[in-house]
Amino acid sequence: MSEPMHLKDSDSERRSFSGRTIAVLFLVFVCLTILVVRLVQLQVVEHEDYVTRSDDNRIQVQALAPPRGRILDRHGVVLAENRAVFTLALVTERIPDLPALFKELETLVSLTQAEIEDFKKRRARRKRPFEAVALRLALSEAHISILSVNRHRLDGVEVQAQLLRYYPHGDLFAHAVGSVRRVTEEDLRVLDSVNYSATQFVGKRGIEQFYETSLHGVVGYQNVEIDARGRVHKVLEISPPLTGESVTVHLDTRLQIAVAKALGDQRGAVVAIEPKTGGILAMVSTPSYDPNLFITGMTAGQYKELMTSRDLPLFNRAVDGQYAPGSTFKPVVGLAGLAAGTLSWEDTINDYGSFRIEGQPRIWRDWSWKKNNSGGQGVVSLRQAIYRSSNVFFYDLAHRMGIDALGNMARQFGYGQATAIDVLQRKKGLMPDPLWKHGAKGERWYPGDTVNVGIGQGDVLATPLQVASTAMVIANRGHWMRPRNLLSSGVDLVEVDAGVPMQDIQGVNAEDWERIVDSMEDVVHRGNKGFRQNGTAWAYIGRDIGYRMAGKSGTAQVVGIQQGEEYDESILDEYQRKHAWFLAFAPADNPQLALVVLIENGGGGSSVAAPVAREIMDAYLLPELAGANL
Amino acid sequence: MSGGDFVRSMPLGQGLVRNQPIYRIHIDLWLLLALGLVVSFGLIMLYSAVDKNPVLFTAQLLRVGAGFAILFIIAHVPPRYYFRWSPFLYAIVLLMLVAVLFVGVTAKGSQRWLNLPGLPRFQPSEMMKVAVPLMVAWFLNDRPLPPRLRHLAWALLMILVPAVLVGLQPDLGTAILIITAGLGVIFLSGIYWRWLGYASLAVALSLPALWFVMQGYQKERVLTLFDPERDPLGAGWNIIQSKTAIGSGGLYGKGLFAGTQSHLEFLPESHTDFIIAVIGEELGFFGIAALLLLYLCVIVRCLYMSSQMQDTFGRLVIGGLTLTFFVYLFVNIAMVIGLLPVVGVPLPLISYGGTSVITLLASFGIIMSIYTHRRR
């Protein structure tokens, strides 16, 4: 087109326009072809992939946590069960202004700053968008109704029902039954990740821990159709979880209550065993705690108190506490002497309150020794040595028979071993011998070490469960029943493995058993005989007792008292005072109950621990004896 | 194709000269039919996309009705008025665009809406899609064609000013459509291929520079196009879900109202910009193909109508508006199926929303007016 031409040339314009229109049409076809090709790619070629993706979106496989099996006592009283608890949870995607909502909830349900912090931690761990994150477990009835009234303006706030573990007796069975704790990252490395995929709590103590596999049950699944906000529209398929097995244990709630009452607020432990079965009828460790707090949450202050208290409420003294058994060990030493032939019932010694190994300067004293009074029990045989708890007799006996014979008998009684069938024994106590001392201290065994072991001191350590087992074995006249919790269950539990039964005590004849029991009855019943002639516990529990009880007191040193120094409770710190023991079973000729009482830093075994044992025995036996008389 | 010329003589009794019409109905039946099919198809799909929500559906039904009423009125205004009013319309809409920047209503992060007293809330940028081609066609009508360089410069200025104003809102999608509408008219005016080549080259070379001008979220969208999985729960969510919806629809779809992606809310914006994904999911490949065919009918009919025009303004306006319509639907579908970055462009005549459908139907009204009033 030439430059000067300014007039419109409609013919060439029309031709040009037609060309352009065709070009546009061409462009349209090209573009539509691109779209169609792409659609074919998406809808035909990759169709299957996208069907999968679409199903992945809407179909969610949800693991269903199995309801945990219950734990019942021997009479069917529920010790651990599951309770519906209402949880306040937030779906943060649906909440426009989180801080404002927190403020609102502060006024509605008195939300605390600590709960907000916990919530933030939990939110950081969630797995997918629109997942509800718990803000508070265990809403109160009042708060549930407040929330439902205000529901319309609280978008993203959900109240979810959930089955949580509940211990109806609170702190009473915290140590005996144990409890569950929230599953941690660490747990998940050990646990079966599939079976625990929906599980929030796992047994961490006691029976709950030991029977975890059976109590837990088997996880179930459901396929649900969800929307993008995670709301379930319908359940497509379900394979329900298998409820955990319920477990009935030997524990007797009535006795447990009596034990807790008898112990009161003293620090200590009681283990009570039915001698015929080995069943643990009561197990208390004080102070205790309410295990429900670990499930529904507690304040930071409560948690700190539990974790840092010097009284160690979380610590199960009955099973995991190790103490010198003190004089409760003496019947074992006596039986060892009889079995080894070192001793007969007629042998006597003159107890002037002190013992020396020939040629050595060290003096071992009787418990009755005071600075200005040599003490001593006079002429004593084994029987007197037990009811008077003569130290000198057992120093001499232990020295004469040697550590091998003594250790042999102690191990038959289960010292230094875990003997229970289904109690998690983290601590096995310690029965020292030359080999152990060489390994642990790099020193050789001195005769003086044996002398110390002779009265249950030195390096001997035993748990209350072990000492209770001793009470049970003596009650059974040497016949072992391994301590156990399980009484019955619906099916055979995988955890139960009775293993090798404990051998009955060797080398002690029936007469010896009766005489040792008689000696122990004297501890309680021998009274009104005058100075140094009464059983050590008679004055405290033996005057008005209505049945025959065999017992042995023990008073275990916590700190070493200097040679020649007198033990003076008033100058020692409370936590350095002696531990008080009392081992007992009754009725002596047909034992129904064998038990041990330990009062930490309580002082004298006869004066402090024996009355507790008496109270427990009374509570257990008197109704039964009364019933038998009817 | 005279059957399509719905220009009917209406003999009204005696005394009147035969074949002398009292009035004519200035509607192109073929185009109206095609539009009606597209809109009906759209309304059915919208009913599904809004989950049978009667409020939303009725609102859209009323808007569509209003749109057709406006189309009818506009088609009966002789085109000389549009020719005369083009500059004023352009100026008014431009002023409104400026106003939007200062007093506009903000929604979803951009300031697009204008609340004028006595009028429903609307987006002036949508009207610009019509005003720009009218204005450029008006400007080139008296100029020699193919256009001279300085005329071209003026025309480009007319296009870029509103485009930039819209881009500032920010509404990149509409800005692109405005530019396309204007450039379409220039292209149809017969601009030299050579110049077109230079321009294309220049644009291609400046594309990398564009990267540095783009805002963060815009860059994000471009990156997301190439790899939606880089942020599957954030920026990539929309595109992943729309592809999933369409892909899972397969050849025949999951059935009307049976789309899981849309009804379970995995697909965002399912009744607005992403409605084609609902169609793809529920009616499958054949559903989308049917819709594309209907769109094609509209476009082919319009291009035919433009080819029948004798005057520059008429040709350019019809051609330009048609081209805009096509680019409109192409950009939307390409964006939803992951061929273009996500920009805010609705599916023409189908997506939920008032301004878009009314403006589009109005532009078809203009097309009919120009065509039915043509010299023969």
> Tens digits of per-residue pLDDT, A603-618?
888 899 999 999 999 9
| Percent of chain B predicted with pLDDT > 70 | 93
Provide the residue range defining the domain that includes A377: 324-568
Question: Which H or E run contains A40?
Answer: helix A10-40
Q: Show residues of chain B in contact with A20, CB under 8 Å.
A: 187-190, 319
pLDDT value, residue B12: 42
Residues in chain B within 8 Å Cβ distance of A228 = 264-266
For residues A379-392, average pLDDT: 93
Q: Is A211 found in the same domain as A105? A: yes
Token couple for B34: 């095609």
Kindly state the average pLDDT of the residues A59-65. 87
Residue ending a domain, among A220, A249, A278, is A249
Q: Alpha-carbon distance B315 to B151, whole Å?
A: 18
pLDDT in tens, A297-318: 788 888 898 888 888 999 999 9
Is residue A289's pLDDT more than 80?
yes
User: What pLDDT was estimated at residue B354?
Assistant: 81
* ipTM value: 0.91
Nearest CA of chain A to the CA of B210: how many Å?
24
Residue A266 lies in a domain: no
Q: Do the Cβ atoms of A42 and B333 come within 8 Å?
A: no
- CA distances for A431 relative to A330, A403, A409, A436, A438, angstroms: 14, 10, 11, 9, 14
Which pLDDT score is estimated for A50? Answer: 94
Question: Domain boundaries in chain B?
Answer: 29-196+228-372
pLDDT of A567 reads 66
For tokens 């009906």, the residue is B40
Per CB-CB distance under 8 Å, the chain A contacts of B188 are 17, 20-21, 24
State pLDDT tens for residues A6-26: 455 677 888 888 899 999 999
Q: Mutate which of A15, A54, A225 to disrupt the B interface (most B C-beta within 10 Å)?
A: A54
Phi-psi region of A87 (alpha: psi -120 to 50; beta: other; left: phi over 0): beta
Distance CA A286, CA A267 (A): 5
pLDDT above 60: residue B8: no
The pLDDT assigned to B237 comes to 85
Residue A162: CATH number of its domain: 3.90.1310.10
Using a pLDDT cut of 70, give the percent of chain A over it: 95
Residue A448 located in a structural domain: yes
**Which chain A residue has its CA at the smallest distance from B277's CA?**
A39
| pLDDT for residue A115 is more than 70 | yes
Q: Is the pLDDT of residue B18 over 80?
A: no
Does any domain span residue A505? Answer: yes
pTM, whole model, 2 decimals? 0.71
What is the structure's pLDDT at B138? 93
- Asked if B266 lies within 8 A of A57 by C-beta distance, the reply is yes
CA Rg value for chain A: 37
Average pLDDT, chain B: 87
| Predicted pLDDT at B191 | 87
Do A240 and A335 lie in one domain? The reply is no
**Chain B residue whose CA is closest to A36:** B289
Interface of A with B in 10-49 (CB under 8 A): 10, 13-14, 16-21, 23-25, 28, 31-32, 34-36, 38-40, 42-44, 46-47, 49
User: A626: which residues sit within 8 A by CB, 6+ positions away?
Assistant: none
Residue A131 in any domain: the answer is: yes
pLDDT-based confidence at B283, cuts 50/70/90?
Answer: very high
pLDDT (0 to 100) of residue A604? 85
Cross-chain Cβ contact A32/B307 below 8 Å: no
Verify whether the Cβ–Cβ distance B339 to A58 is below 8 Å: no
Alpha-carbon torsion B326, B331, B334, B339, what sign? positive
Residues A243-270: tens digit of each pLDDT: 999 999 999 999 999 999 999 999 999 9
Q: What pLDDT score was predicted for residue B108?
A: 67
Catalytic residues of A: 327
Q: What is the pLDDT of residues B210-257, one digit of tens each?
A: 777 777 777 777 787 788 777 777 778 888 999 999 999 999 999 999
pLDDT tens across B318-375, in order?
999 999 999 999 999 999 999 988 888 899 999 998 888 999 999 999 999 999 988 7
Contact list in B for residue A8 (CB cut-off 8 A) is 144-145, 312
| Interface residue of B148, B183, B239, B244 to substitute, partner A, most A CBs within 10 Å | B244
How sure is the predictor about A396, in pLDDT bands with cuts at 50, 70 and 90?
A: very high
Of A9, A20, A39, the CB nearest to B188: A20
Cα A154 to Cα B111: distance, rounded to the nearest angstrom: 29
Whether residue A52 lies inside any domain: the answer is no
Position B13 pLDDT exceeds 50: no
Interchain CB distance below 8 Å, B264 and A227: yes
Q: Name the average pLDDT for chain A.
A: 89
Q: How far is B261 from chain A (nearest CA, A)?
A: 7
* Average confidence (pLDDT) over A536-554: 93
**Residue A231 pLDDT > 70, yes or no?**
yes
The verdict on a CB contact (< 8 Å) between A57 and B333 is no
Beta bridge partners of A222: A62, A238
Of the partner residues B248, B285, B339, the one whose CB lies closest to the CB of residue A44: B285
pLDDT on residue A562: 57
Q: What is the mean pLDDT of residues B73-99?
A: 93
Q: Which residues in chain B are closer than 8 Å to A226, comparing Cβ atoms?
A: 264
Evaluate if residue A627 carries a pLDDT over 70. Answer: no
Q: Under an 8 A CB cutoff, do A51 and B284 touch?
A: no
Residue of B nearest to A7 (CA): B144
- Which of B233, B248, B322, B325 should be substituted to probe chain A, the one whose Cβ sees the most A Cβ atoms within 10 Å? B248
* Window A:204-243, CB contacts with B under 8 Å: 225-229, 233
Cβ contact B260–A40 (<8 Å): no
Say if A534 falls within a structural domain: yes
Residue B9: the pLDDT is 40
Among A618-622, B217-221, B281-285, which is the least confidently predicted range?
B217-221
- Whether residue A81 has pLDDT greater than 50: yes
pLDDT > 90 fraction of chain A, expressed in percent and rounded: 59
Asked if residue A302 belongs to a domain, the reply is: no
- B132-179 pLDDT tens trace: 999 999 999 888 878 888 999 999 999 999 999 998 888 888 888 899
Give the one of A25, A32, A47 whose C-beta lies nearest to B303's C-beta. Answer: A25
Of B244, B306, B312, the CB nearest to A54: B244
| B-chain residue closest to A128, CA distance | B233
Percent of chain B at pLDDT exceeding 90 = 55
Name chain A contacts of B321, Cβ cutoff 8 Å.
none
Question: What is the rounded average pLDDT of the residues A451-480?
Answer: 95
Q: Partners of A88 in the beta sheet? A: A136, A159
Report the pLDDT value the prediction gives residue A603, as an integer from 0 to 100.
84
* Domain end marker among A535, A568, A601: A568
Instruction: Identify the pLDDT of residue A376.
Output: 81
Q: Select the more confidently predicted residue: B244 or A154.
A: B244
**All residues at 6 or more sequence positions from B290 whose CB lies less than 8 Å from its CB, including other chains:** B41, B283
Residue A543 has pLDDT above 60, yes or no: yes
Which pLDDT does position A565 carry in this prediction? 62
Instruction: State the best of A5, A9, A20, A37 to mutate against chain B, taking most chain B CBs within 10 Å.
Output: A20
What pLDDT is attached to residue A369?
77
Of the residues A568, A584, A602, the one at which a domain ends: A568
CB contact under 8 A, B319 and A21: yes
Residue-wise pLDDT for A556-581, tens only, equals 887 655 555 666 666 667 778 889 99
User: What's the pLDDT at A8?
Assistant: 57
The residue that leads in pLDDT, B257 or B21, is B257
Indicate the number of domains in chain A: 2
CA B60-B61-B67 angle, to 5 degrees, is 85
Residue A36, in any domain of the structure: no
Lowest mean pLDDT among A88-92, A202-206, A325-329, B82-86: A88-92
For residues A519 and A551, what is the distance between their CA atoms, to the nearest angstrom?
9
A418-425 mean pLDDT: 91
User: Do A224 and A101 fall within a single domain?
Assistant: yes
Residue B198: pLDDT above 70? yes
Provide the CATH number for the domain around residue A353: 3.40.710.10
